[in-house]
Structure 1
Amino acid sequence: MKGVSAILFTLFLAIQHKPTLAYKAAVLEYYPETGDSPEATIKKNLKAYGTYADTAKSQSAEILVFPEYGLTTIVSDPTDYAVDLTDSSGDSVLTKLSNIARERQIYVVVNLLEKERDSNTTTKYYNTDLVLDKNGAIILKYRKINLFQEDMLTPGDANQTQTFSTTFGVTFGIFTGYDILFHYPSRNIFKNSDVTDVVYPSAWTSYMPFLTSLSTQQGYTTANGINLLAASYGRPKEGHGGSGIFLPNGKAAELYIADSASSKIIVQEVSKISSREEKSVCGGIVPFGLPGDLNKSNVFNYKTDTIFDYPRSKFMKVDMSVRTSTLDVCHCDFCCTFEITLDNSSVSSPDIYKLAAFDGIVEIGNTNHHVRICSLLACENDSNDSCGKRLESTNTTFTKLTVKGNLKREDKTFYVPITVDAFLLPIQQTKFCNNHNETNSAYVELTTFQGPANVLVFGLLGKTVSGAASVHALGFFVLVAFIILKSVVF
């Protein structure tokens, strides 16, 4: 009997310590409350955070991600909102955040404004993410590197630690808002080969055609072969919002984008991946399917302006009377190929689509910035500057869409897919590859798995890391936005 008992005990221990194949994650799209003072505002939102943490825990979530600026609202002056992280008094913001994590035994990722005195007694302010473990201890502090319209803040160090590991067996990377566009930190985190998942607090503002929130999140996730937990500040009338849990295969466990200011917690099971899924293998059969716009969202009042360098781009109109087309579009010597097959009912559609290509240097001050684009764009009319804007719907359904090419990367350009439909959702049924093993070129391809309808944008965006005076290598679109929209804070 002793031998049987020993065997049973051994089996019990083996079952107890068997690695799980998934974990439960929660992200919060959040529209912050406001109080009569900065202190009252933070206090109200801390209370709400506790309630949402209860919801996440009740659904067995092991990690909860809050959005950028969720505690404070978006403010240009951090002075009265910033937290001194050395204050560990019983009533401090840090203590209350620690209690949220410890009392619910859940990892918490929270964004706040931080203040710190340096040796010269000068106070510096940072946009800071904290990661607290299940015991309420800070295991990582990350300061946002790429600031945009945050003039009173100091950028974080590009060499700071950007990764953390959890007791449920996943190693995460972390960055904030517009950091997602830049090599430092969004690609730099993969120097740690254990990183398979990323947490992403954001107060992103969406711009058509290439900078909408969910499209950017999905493009980054797909190109890098990781899971992404994206939590956004929710104020659609100001262009903020769009959260989700994204998976490496181009799909999402769940997405949320709203028509009006709102808060929504997403809790989903996320399959663990042993390593990042490299996208270097191209080819294979891409099945045709039904239209891919089955999950429509109400975004009528979601604000999106348009940012695009129309005058210098090359355009080619798609002949909608031809069911199957293979078209090449080039800007100078930067070329890509589109394979377009229309559904029979869409042939001779009144919709106007054009192909656009751009490869150029943009000079801002004394700094040069480089971007490459190849995209199908829906247009309001025949004018090029009507392309890539918001349309409520289209009459066209594509049976298949592909954009591909041997694209230049002599400056280490990294390509990501960019897709947007009329409901500001990314097209999820796609296959993407980026065979970037060659020195000066990469074969890049994006193909639909299903025949999508209401397509506004379908293409590739290449971002470079060279040509910038600083390590941040600010991208073309952000700089254009900086010039046009000086009154907006991110």
Structure 2
Amino acid sequence: MIISYFPKCGAVLAFFVLSVGALDTFIAAVYEHAVMLPNRTETPVPKEEALLLMSRNIDVLEKAVKLAARFGRSPVQERLSCLAKDNSIYIVENIGDKKPCNASDPQCPPDGRYQYNTDVVFDSEGRLVARYHKCNLFAPEIQFDFPKDSELVTFDSPFGKFGIFTCFDIFSHDLAVMVVEEFQVDSILYPTAWYNTLPLLSAVPFHSAWARALGVNLLAANTHNTSMHMTRTSPWFCPNRFSEFILYGIHFQGSGIYSPEAVKVYYYDMETESGQLMLSELKSWPRREAIYSAAVHWSTYARGVKPFSSERLSFPGMTYFDAFTFTKLKGNTGNYTVCQKDLCCHLTYKMSEKRTNEVYALGVFDRLHMVEGQYYLQVCTLLKCQTTDLRTCGEPAGSAFTKFEEFSLSGTFGTSYVFPQIVLSGSQLAPERHYEVGDFQEDKFL
């Protein structure tokens, strides 16, 4: 693992470099940006102003490209192409793309063009080898249009087959899962502007779990901004919902390079505004490895567990707008079961040091998530409540001091796509050993 720092600076949304080593392996690099953002506006800015901002961002990227290359050996696209060719590396960049349309198209916007959230890939010869238009737009992306057709984008390289998608796409089975399973890709390139949402949706834990579950390499490049404030005063509409979008104090960060068997390197830093470059060697064809495992039937164990006593009182709680059912952990050891609809979660645990000012709960959710996008979720979670008031169970908690010697958490999931995560105090990722059955280490958990 090699980590290099850059001075405080900014850049566009996401950036990757790939460098060819031996054909059986390749050097992957991810750069997390300290974002250089434009001023908020709902009207188009002059072309010269937009190009100036993008050029300043690419100035930052150029330094990262040249540094990363040492470890491997329109105007915007022309410059990116030259950077890839001059440094003999692959570059993936997230930019905007506009396509003209005319009045014969009933969906053509008033300004006569579609605008897409777009990823472009340039190979080591500077050729454009892939372009992907984001299919699942997040609520604040009002400047972009949905593409008419969802497309699964892949490309071949001397070091494996790659798929590519963006940010919110990762929650879509018909895109993220299908591009892996139908096209048998080896690695996923993943530009994102992911804001961390404790306790269940922080970037590094979820992305590393996704790579393990799908059996592929995942190169995830997040934007870096520790205190972005976002508001949207006019309502926006999704099916069965009408609400206002208001977010304050969002933290965009958490990039990494993940393989199916290990977290290679990741970066999560709330203290600085600097961007960071990460590099690691990855196997080109992880599916060919002897350690590659088939899909895990996660519910097999849980369905054989006799539910523990249901005499304990359950209570409701909200986690990221979802109505969970919780039950409080009352002793230093215990066995609990909590159910919602078809999902039952079973917990057996042992604490070595229980803090009296901390409350932990077992939670379950088995419904359609409806806010900032729609997708069905089944969740089993062991978490620390924000305070000793049970009404705060499910709200973000940044630190924890109770220590667990061991615990076993299982659920009767109705899907094979399960993403186990352990997040430690301070939003840090648990060492890999914590994911192995029967190998529990003492630590502090959120």
TM range (shorter): 0.7 to 0.9
Q: 1:309 to 1:95 in 2, by over 3 A?
A: closer
Asked if structure 2 preserves the Cα contact closer than 8 Å seen for 1:108 and 1:132, the reply is: yes
Q: 1:139 to 1:349 in 2, by over 3 A?
A: same
Equivalence for 1:76: none
Select the residue among 140, 150, 156 that pairs with 2:141: 150
1:56 maps to amino acid: A
SS of equivalent residue, structure 2 residue 429: coil
SS of equivalent residue, structure 2 residue 224: coil
Select the residue among 146, 157, 174 that pairs with 1:166: 157
1:165 maps to amino acid: D
- Aligned partners of 1:348 and 1:235: how far apart in 2? 33
Determine if the alignment matches structure 1 residue 403 to structure 2 residue 403: no
Q: Give runs of aligned pairs for residues 43-58 of structure 1, distance below 5 A.
A: 43-58=55-70
Equivalence for 1:321: 332
Q: 1:162 to 1:397 in 2, by over 3 A?
A: same
2:382 maps to amino acid: L
Q: 1:363 to 1:237 in 2, by over 3 A?
A: closer
Per-residue deviation at 1:419? 2.9
Equivalence for 2:269: 258
Equivalence for 2:77: 94
Select the residue among 63, 85, 99 that pairs with 1:116: 99
Per-residue deviation at 1:19? 6.3
Determine if the alignment matches structure 1 residue 340 to structure 2 residue 349: yes
Equivalence for 2:169: 179
Per-residue deviation at 1:193? 4.2
Kindly indicate which of the two structures has a greater share of residues assigned to strand.
Answer: 2
SS of equivalent residue, structure 2 residue 200: coil
Q: Give per-residue Cα distances to partners, 1:195-229, cap 9 Å, x unaligned.
A: 12111111111112222111221221122121111
Equivalence for 2:358: 351
SS of equivalent residue, structure 1 residue 407: coil
Q: Give per-residue Cα distances to partners, 1:357-388, cap 9 Å, x unaligned.
A: 121245679x9753221100101334333224
Q: TM-score normalized by structure 1?
A: 0.68
SS of equivalent residue, structure 1 residue 147: coil
Asked if structure 2 preserves the Cα contact closer than 8 Å seen for 1:54 and 1:104, the reply is: yes
Unaligned runs of 5+ in 1: 1-17, 62-86, 284-305, 433-445, 457-490
Equivalence for 1:280: 296
Q: TM-score normalized by structure 2?
A: 0.74
Q: Give per-residue Cα distances to partners, 1:242-298, cap 9 Å, x unaligned.
A: 10111212x311110122322000011113344164332779xxxxxxxxxxxxxxx
SS of equivalent residue, structure 2 residue 252: coil
Asked if structure 1 preserves the Cα contact closer than 8 Å seen for 2:398 and 2:427, the reply is: no
Select the residue among 373, 382, 387 that pairs with 1:381: 387
- Aligned partners of 2:320 and 2:22: how far apart in 1? 48
Asked if structure 2 preserves the Cα contact closer than 8 Å seen for 1:401 and 1:447, the reply is: no
1:403 maps to amino acid: L
Asked if structure 1 preserves the Cα contact closer than 8 Å seen for 2:298 and 2:413, the reply is: no
Identical-residue share of aligned pairs (%): 23
Asked if structure 1 preserves the Cα contact closer than 8 Å seen for 2:366 and 2:379, the reply is: yes
SS of equivalent residue, structure 1 residue 50: helix
Per-residue deviation at 1:107? 0.5
Equivalence for 2:427: 424
Q: 1:101 to 1:199 in 2, by over 3 A?
A: same
Q: Give runs of aligned pairs for residues 303-318 of structure 1, distance below 5 A.
A: 307-309=319-321, 312-318=323-329
Asked if structure 2 preserves the Cα contact closer than 8 Å seen for 1:27 and 1:266, the reply is: yes
Equivalence for 1:60: 72
Asked if structure 2 preserves the Cα contact closer than 8 Å seen for 1:224 and 1:277, the reply is: no
Per-residue deviation at 1:109? 0.5
- Aligned partners of 2:359 and 2:221: how far apart in 1? 35
SS of equivalent residue, structure 1 residue 39: helix
Unaligned runs of 5+ in 2: 1-20, 40-48, 229-250, 300-317
Per-residue deviation at 1:342? 2.3
Asked if structure 2 preserves the Cα contact closer than 8 Å seen for 1:126 and 1:144, the reply is: yes
Equivalence for 2:313: none
Equivalence for 1:25: 28
Q: Give per-residue Cα distances to partners, 1:309-344, cap 9 Å, x unaligned.
A: 46x42111112333xx3321112342021121223x
